[in-house]
Amino acid sequence: MVANKNREQDPPAQKPSPEPGLPWLRIEHLHKFYGSLAAVIDVNLQVNRGQQVVIVGASGSGKSTLLRCINYLETPSRGQIWLDGDPIGQHPIQTASGMVWQADTPNQLARKRRQIGMVFQGFNLFAHLNALDNIAIGPHRVLGRPQAQCREQARALLAKVHLDRHADHYPSQLSGGEQQRVAIARALAMDPKLILFDEPTSALDPRLTHEVLQVMQELAEEGLTMVVVTHEIHFARRFADWVVYMEQGQIVETGAAGDVLNRPQQAQTQRFLSYVMG
């Protein structure tokens, strides 16, 4: 998937694939409370390797919080997340009284987060680095690879998101669509097992939105596992294998994209889609 194949691998990437049939990403009984407010309630979700899952729902329905819980930018209040057989945010330890779960230390968490890319609504490119180094800094500083090699890889990734001529540009010199494509390349540079997209086009006009969605479509065709929160329903219909509709922190309806978006079964989903489709 990434240009340079014969570089050293992360320990996690060397692990054998899970037994066939086991989902790549597994979310079990996930809850997130802010004081008395329940943002996410008992979410269960499974994503297979190479699948694209789109989460839709109104603002405040908990879909972004769910996404941010997957890589522990928000710490879930309850529940478990597994990626490729690896529990995220906690690990089992053996004690005298049996096996118990212990929260990951910040460094353990950082190590697990390398496997999960994230693309944000506000791009969040590093303002002091040009496009090339925004992409190269992850492999260089986190994985400890030589800088020249990381920049070479970054150049290939820039070409992949159709920005080969913008390597020297700083974020402040790029359009929103360009920034978001650099942000996608930055996530790809870590060769993640999964990329989370949190409303990647909500800050963009229709033309720039198109640029970004096109890149996401290309990545999907290459078999990248993606979980996307978006309001672009037409895009979701083309792009997603699986669609999740959320309301008030709960999954209301989930199924194949064609089923949920064209023939929603639940009244809440029908109502929401009627607003979006006009």
Partner 1 sequence: MDFPFMVQTLPRLVAPLGLTIGVSLVSLLLATILGVVLGLLRVICPVNNPLGWLIDGYVELVRGTPIIIQIYAVHFLLPPLLGSKLPLFWEGVCALTLNSVGYQIEIVRAAVQSIPQGQWEAARSIGMTNRIILCRILLPQAARQMIPPLTNELSNLVKASSVLSVVALFELHKAGSSIASSSFKFVEMLALQAILYFALIQTLSWGTGYLEHHVFRYGRKPSSFGTEAWGIRA
In sequence order, the β-bridge partners of residue 169 are: none
Tokens standing for 125?
Answer: 């490119």
Q: Which of 97, 98, 172, 278 binds partner 1 (CB under 8 A)?
A: 172
Which region, judged by CB under 8 A, interacts with partner 1, from 35-43, 107-115, 146-154, 250-258? 107-115
Q: How far is CA 49 from the centre of its chain?
A: 13
Residue 120 or 242: the one with the smaller Cβ distance to partner 1 is 120
Site pattern 39..78 for partner 1 (x: CB under 8 A)? --------------------------------x-x-----
Stretch that binds partner 1, among 75-83, 169-177, 240-248, 267-275 (CB under 8 A): 169-177
Q: Which residues are within 8 A (CB) of 135 and not within 5 positions of it... i.e. 6 or more apart?
A: 150, 153, 154, 157, 158, 182, 185, 186, 189
Site for partner 1 (CB under 8 A): which residue of 171, 177, 200, 249? 171
Instruction: Give me the residue label for tokens 């990734």.
Output: 157
Half-sphere exposure of 96 (CA within 13 A, CB side): 0
Helix, strand or coil, per DSSP, at residue 26: strand
**Helix (H, G, I), strand (E, B), or coil: what is residue 164?**
helix
State the nearest-atom distance from the C-beta of 20 to partner 1, in Å: 28
Taking CB under 8 A as the binding criterion, the range among 20-28, 45-53, 155-163, 179-187 that sits at the site for partner 1 is: 179-187
Q: What share of the chain is helix, strand, coil (3-state, %, to 5)?
A: 40, 25, 35
Q: Which of 18-26, 112-120, 205-213, 262-270 is the region at the interface with partner 1 (rule: CB under 8 A)?
A: 112-120
Which positions touch partner 1 (CB under 8 A)? 71, 73, 106-107, 110-118, 120, 122-130, 137-138, 141-142, 169-173, 183, 186-187, 189-190
